[in-house]
Structures are given as C-alpha cells and as structure tokens.
Amino acid sequence: MSHFYDLAAHRRSMRRFTAERLTQDEWAALMGTALMSPSSKGTCCWQFVVVEDPELLRQLAQCKEHGSAFVADAPAAVVVLADPSVSDVWVEDASVATTYLLLQAEDCGLGACWVQVRRRETVDGTSAEDVVRRILGIPGHLRVLSLVALGHKAMERKPFQPENLKWDKVHLNVYPTSSPE
Ligand SMILES: Cc1cc2nc3c(=O)[nH]c(=O)nc-3n(C[C@H](O)[C@H](O)[C@H](O)COP(=O)(O)O)c2cc1C
C-alpha cells in the first residue's frame, strides 16, 4: 500500500503528549505544509499562531466547555485563523489547512488533535472564538476556525483497518434508491 494510505491509516487523534518540545525541523515541516495547503482561488485567507507558552496553552484549554481541556498539557498548539473578507469559503480553506497540519504531524511521528473553536462556547455562553482572540490578541476581523494541539505521543491508538471502514457510505454513479416495500 502507498505511503500516503499508511499515513492516513495511522493518523488518529492524540490527546496525551510528553513534555518534549518540538524541534525547529518539525516546526518547519508543519508550518511549511500548512502554507502549501490549497485554498479557493489561491487566496490563502488563513493565518496561523504557533503557541508554545505554557500559560497561554492553559488559557486556550478553557476556551470552550467540552473537548479542549487536554490542550493545557500539550507542549504546543497552532491556532488556525482566516479572513472572511479575503475568501467567502474561509471555513473550507482553514479546514484544509487544519487537516494538512494533522497529516504532517503524523508524518513527523508527532501526535495531534483538531480542537474546534468556530461555533463553540464556554460554559457561560461566551463565544470560544472571542476567548481565543482575547488570549492571543487576535483582531476582530479574523475568524478562529480551530486549534491543533501538538506534541510527542504519550498514548497509543490502533490504526484504521481496511476491513472496518464504512464502505456502505460510498456509492457508484447514482445514489441508491431505497428498495420498494
Ligand atoms: C471538525 C472537527 C472538530 C473536532 N473537534 C474536536 C474537539 O474540539 N476536541 C477533540 O478532542 N477532538 C475533536 N475532533 C477530533 C475528532 O473527535 C476525531 O477526529 C474523531 O473522533 C475520529 O477520531 P480519529 O481522529 O482518531 O480518527 C474534531 C475533529 C474534526 C474533524
């Protein structure tokens, strides 16, 4: 099987990391790949904030009610921003960049996990985007799609197995009609 298929099979969300910091080479690979991600009309509407400051990571971990607490113990995160005035499909562009970061992390032997920020809230109903903007000083015209927690893996996950994939979600030529009663 091709190298990329194996990479995709082994990429699983990692939420526990060692304290080891990422190297310059790892950062160059990660951010270089993010900057090569395709964007609609080539507008490159995204921007990225690399966060390694432990106190900022602790604050980011509290940006929403569920699914972000583990960021407090990650050695790094990349916050994925986009400018909606540059692209009307900024969600797609920023999602592709987020996916590229996840796959590059796996290729570097690192663990990573997408943490959704857009459309998420804190327990008291504050927008997670506003919380992240305030913590990192991000201007109001930029949207915050996600953050990617990154680090050396401190957990094991089984790779996807071809026989367990949801092949029934793949249709040939036309969508199948439901069988007559
Ligand atoms: C759009 C999107 C948002 C996600 N948001 C979160 C999140 O906020 N917190 C989290 O721990 N995982 C999050 N994940 C990771 C998913 O939970 C994970 O990809 C899914 O359970 C499948 O597991 P796998 O990545 O190990 O294959 C998100 C994934 C995607 C694609």
Closest residue (by CA) to atom 28 of ligand 1? 114
Q: What's the pLDDT tens digit per position in 105-138? A: 999 999 999 999 999 999 999 999 999 999 999 9
Nearest CA to ligand 1 atom 14: 114
Check: CB of residue 22 under 8 Å from CB of residue 156: no
What whole-number distance in Å separates Cα of residue 51 and Cα of residue 135?
A: 11
The CATH number fitting domain 3-155, selected from 1.10.287.1080, 3.40.640.10, 2.60.40.180, 3.40.109.10 = 3.40.109.10
| Predicted TM-score (pTM) of this structure | 0.97
Cα 53 to ligand 1 centroid, rounded to whole Å: 23
CA–CA dist 100, 152 (Å, integer): 17
Domain boundaries, the chain: 3-155
Q: Which residue has the higher pLDDT, 28 or 180?
A: 28
Which protein residues are within 6 Å of ligand 1, measured from CB? 12-13, 15, 67-68, 113-116
CA 117 to ligand 1: nearest atom = 8
Q: What is the model's pLDDT at position 178?
A: 78
